[in-house]
Amino acid sequence: MTAEPSPARPTRLGQNQYGKAEVRVVRVVRDGDTHHLKDLSVSVALSGAMEDVHLSGSNAAVLTTDTTKNTVYAFAQKHGIESAEGFAILLARHFVTSQASIHRARIRVEQYAWDRIGPQETGHSFVRDARETRTTEVTFDGAHWQVVSGLKDMVVLNTTDSEFRGYLKDGYTTLPETRDRVLATEVTARWRFSWSGDDQPEPAWEETYPQVRGHLLAAFAETYSLSLQQTLYSMGARVIERTPGVDEVRLSLPNKHHFLVDLEPFGLKNDNEVYYAADRPYGLIEGTVLREGAEAAIPVTD
């Protein structure tokens, strides 16, 4: 008796990836009495010819996530960590070129800042810096690179030079117009480099980060803001205009509202001096600024 063929399943495997998330690695370089510190969280995501492991459970094409973790630590020792971007590029190249089943690697890095205690150029004592976290995401498919660097959790505030008026109003509008307000936000910024192949010289990663950070801060401080959207565009545009190797900047700016406290019940005048800071709900302003002729490639959401 001939067995009846199994009916075709009404499903197919879509996009998939696997890897190790948030591998914490701290690298110390000891130069005599002067030590240098790099503190990273590295996440590895790999994809490629992985159909069998999903459809039949065969692990023959799978490089274990424990191996990816060990590779991060080994590469930190063998190659050092000159920059978050450079370290991510080394890892991505290794995973794609060393295993036939791996066709694409995405390496995400967060870098945490430490400041020296005492003399700025010497010593071995550090204090964790409470400022923003540096980020990078490197993707490699065996031929093309995409490097998106950035920062998050950078809180900035202007006490004046910000208005908000002339907006649409309907029956549910209660917000009064203002010609002088506190403007505050917590910046998440990502910028994509035009560098995409080994036939091009790599950008100066360690020099570019403070330059872009400085442009973001300068634009925020120097823009007379009629809206947070206008400020966002000014920040992204300044980076594009003054950083030749950057083609795209994506910004996410939650509006950290500061409202004047009503002190009239106490017989006191509040002349833009006393505010309360509201953390929820908040307006969320997001946008992308592109170099003319460039295509958007940074995802809107992760």
Q: Is 66 annotated as a binding-site member? A: yes
Is it the case that residue 9 has pLDDT exceeding 90? no
Alpha carbon distance 256, 282 (integer Å): 6
Instruction: Report the mean per-residue pLDDT for the chain.
Output: 95
Q: Is 65 annotated as a binding-site member? A: yes
pLDDT at 6: 57
Question: Alpha carbon 192 to chain centroid distance?
Answer: 10
Of 80, 113, 143, the residue that ends a domain is: 143
219-228, long-range: CB within 8 Å, 24+ apart, which pairs?
A: 220/156, 220/158, 220/187, 221/156, 221/158, 223/161, 224/161, 224/162, 225/158, 225/161, 225/162, 225/163, 225/183, 226/163, 226/164, 227/164, 228/183, 228/185, 228/253, 228/255, 228/283, 228/285
pLDDT in tens, 211-268: 999 999 999 999 999 999 999 999 999 999 999 999 999 999 999 999 999 999 999 9
pLDDT in tens, 60-113: 999 999 999 999 999 999 999 999 999 999 999 999 999 999 999 999 999 999
Query: Within this chain, do residues 31 and 127 fall inside the same structural domain, yes or no?
Result: yes
Query: Within this chain, do residues 58 and 152 fall inside the same structural domain, yes or no?
Result: no
Does residue 249 contact residue 289 with C-beta atoms inside 8 Å? Answer: yes
Is it the case that residue 120 has pLDDT exceeding 90? no
Q: Helices then strands (H, E): number in the chain? A: 5, 12
Query: Within this chain, do residues 270 and 192 fall inside the same structural domain, yes or no?
Result: yes
List residues with catalytic annotation. Answer: 20, 65, 257
Does residue 235 contact residue 151 with C-beta atoms inside 8 Å? Answer: no
Over pLDDT 90: what percentage of the chain? Answer: 91
pLDDT at 301: 66
- 155 beta partners: 186
The structural domain count of the chain equals: 2
Cis check: omega of the bond before 281, within 30 degrees of 0: yes
Does residue 228 contact residue 185 with C-beta atoms inside 8 Å? Answer: yes
Query: Within this chain, do residues 134 and 157 fall inside the same structural domain, yes or no?
Result: no
34, two tokens: 């002067």
Provide the terminal-to-terminal Cα distance of the chain, rounded to the nearest Å.
53
Q: Is 158 annotated as a binding-site member? A: no
Q: Is residue 249 part of a domain?
A: yes
Query: Within this chain, do residues 189 and 90 fall inside the same structural domain, yes or no?
Result: no
Q: What is the CATH number of the domain that holds 286?
A: 3.10.270.10
Is it the case that residue 143 has pLDDT exceeding 60? yes
The structure's pTM equals: 0.92
pLDDT in tens, 154-184: 999 999 999 999 999 999 999 999 999 999 9
Q: Is 77 annotated as a binding-site member? A: no
**pLDDT tier for residue 285 given thresholds of 50, 70 and 90:** very high
Host domain of residue 73: 16-143
Q: Is residue 4 part of a domain?
A: no
Query: Within this chain, do residues 284 and 155 fall inside the same structural domain, yes or no?
Result: yes
Does residue 74 contact residue 23 with C-beta atoms inside 8 Å? Answer: no
- 189 beta partners: 151, 251
Alpha carbon distance 177, 228 (integer Å): 14
Task: Provide, for the chain, the percentages of residues in helix, strand and coil under a 3-state DSSP scheme, each rounded to the nearest 5.
Answer: 25, 35, 40
